[in-house]
A and B are shown apart, each in its own frame.
Chain A
Amino acid sequence: MDWIIRSGRIVDGSGLPAFEGDVALKDGKVVRLGGRIEAEGAQVFDATGCIVAPGFIDPHTHFDVQLLWDGQARPALEHGVTTIVPGNCSLSLAPLKAGDRQRVVGMFQQIEEMPDAAFDGAFEWRWESFDGYLAALKESLSINVAPLVGHSVIRLWVMGAAATERAATAEELAAMQDLLAQCLEAGAVGLSTSFVDVDENLMPVPSRYAHLEELDALAAVLGRYGRMLQVVPEFYATDITLARVDQLAELSLRYGIPTTFSPLFDSAATPDNVPRVMARVAEQMARGAQVWPQVQTRPIDISFTFEVASLLFAGLPKWYRTMRMGTEEKIAALSDPEWVAQLLAEAEPGGNGVRWAGVQVRGGVSDASLVGQTLGALAEVQGTSPAQVMIDLSLQHNLEASFIAASLGHNDSDRVGALLADGNVHVGASDAGAHIQSFATYGDTGYLLGHFVRDRGALSLEAAIKKITADTARIWGLPGRGQLAPGFAGDVAIFDAAEIDRCAEEACFDMPEEGMRYVRASKGMVGVFVNGALSWSKASGYADAPVGQIATQLPGAASA
């Protein structure tokens, strides 16, 4: 044995009740579990009082670029995530001809908010093919990766500039089919496409120029390999999303493939969206189609500054009028006591359901101690109103103070909890690695296990673990992962069920050239094994062990 994880409460991913015992790992895999296991020379990880579960699988990430300089996909790993699916939303870093790199960089910058520095010197472009990209990843991979290949880059490879001009010819379609087959042979877990994404010029990405016949032809190739089709539908319009569910169901049935779409949000503004979409999904699943809606666990926050007119103020005409002024005019208005008095009168008790007292200072202020504090708390100390505090901070910082109105959408815990527990829902859509300068996309599993399992009882612990491990592995066809059972990969998350959660969002400067992103640290996680190697622990932090594997292939022995 290499490791014995001692005296934990094992939730094995099957959905069956937890049980006490040890878990033994050897050569990268689980070899025994349950009861007391003794093995001379094995290292021991004390899991007393902790849950021992399979490592979590995140099916919707955008770590494609970050993995090239951070093979641990920080901070995903410390949240217990041991396998990630990058390449979503039609976008991947391969296959990609050298001459097309800049076009794809622009798409990544728009969709993931990746800074220039991330592409300029942070890694060396040495590949064009999909297997070349995987070879580059594997040099320092510490987390398992099941990469999608993006429809937009496949189109770009075959059609060049015409990829954003027209439908494909029959010859081009055949070339795309061949290219997709090569990617799947190399280890791609499927194909991603998007009906909504735009590039840095706000123009549709290449996949949006495809006719239905093109997607059908590519799905036929997926069918030969039994691989996944991931889609971003027009999620902002229920009727169109319903049509996409039907379209995916037909492709699933015709070619025997799993399909998944994301995101699906619950919103107070459109309360019939989720019930209608889920009813259609249930109807299609009953026919035998696989159309998995991905639902994120975390609520949606809205961030804003006074520099740009956020629609958050659109229900407050005086405020919105002020926000739309030029900078100098805006500062003058916010400095005018009479004008401010009118703003304050309009601000109470709150617009668009926003309670200003609960809005937090997010950044852009000289006094770091203010970050994370609510306007209500600051107002109480200063003997003024929350809206006045917001105005004062903005004026003091040249309108650059930023604020966050937390949990404004997808925030009804009863509704979202029931949705997450639905047997037809695929828990995912974290978007980890994207939107990095807008909000943190990490810790959704901690939020699931803390908020929805422990605090709300929306799902049992066993059911929630199953959803983010064995169910995900089955949906995506990841062999030998997602369960604690002999022969399965030694991917293990060990956590304190009483503590598990996500920490507060914080700005972090760990991108190339000290670029900023928002992250959340883990809470309650105590140890994470990847392919039998201790890759992160609360006590020692990250271990620099390149043990990650391409998860579409059977688990092998850890190399470190």
Chain B
Amino acid sequence: MSEAPFIEAAEIAPGHDGAAELVLFVRYPGAGRQTVTLDADAAEVLFEHTQTGDVSALHGVPWHHLKDVLQQRPGSGAAGGNG
């Protein structure tokens, strides 16, 4: 078992604002699981990083690694989506 949290699954889902969004399922050591939802701009950053447009390429990737990538993008402190 991995020592660090990793992406167990990634799916495209419909968002509240009528756009598609990327849902990451993060598996933590000790069996904890969390979902992280990203809009198209944030997902684009990940796809740029993984050099692919395929969600399956995110499977198994360490979560901290992706989090670092996301936090380095411009405006990353303003994550949120309008309700």
Contact = CB atoms under 8 A, between A and B. Distances in A.
A262 B47 contact: no
Q: What's the dominant secondary structure at chain B's contact region?
A: mixed
Nearest to A267: B13
Contacts of A373: none
B4 interface: no
Contact of A263 (B16, B19, B20, B44): B16
Given A198-B80, A311-B22, A315-B54, A324 B12 contact: no
Contacts of B52: 317
Of the four ranges (under 10, 10 to 19, 20 to 34, 35 or more), the interface on chain B belongs to 20 to 34
Interface string B47-72: 10000111110000000000000000
B80 A204 contact: yes
Given A198-B82, A302-B14, A312 B37 contact: no
B22 A194 contact: no
A304 B16 CA distance: 14
Interface residues of A, number: 54
A301 interface: yes
A197 B12 contact: no
A204 B43 contact: no
B1 interface: no
B30 interface: no
A237 B18 contact: no
Contact of B12 (A262, A308, A311): A311
B53 A314 contact: yes
A236 B81 contact: yes
Contacts of A204: 78, 80
A324 B17 contact: no
Contacts of A31: none
Nearest to B9: A269
A270 B12 CA distance: 11
Nearest to B37: A236
A232 B22 CA distance: 20
Contacts of A232: 83
9 contacts: A203-B75, A268-B13, A270-B35, A301-B18, A313-B53, A314-B53, A315-B54, A317-B53, A320-B53
Given A311-B22, A439-B18, 4 more contacts: A270-B23, A302-B15, A314-B20, A438-B19
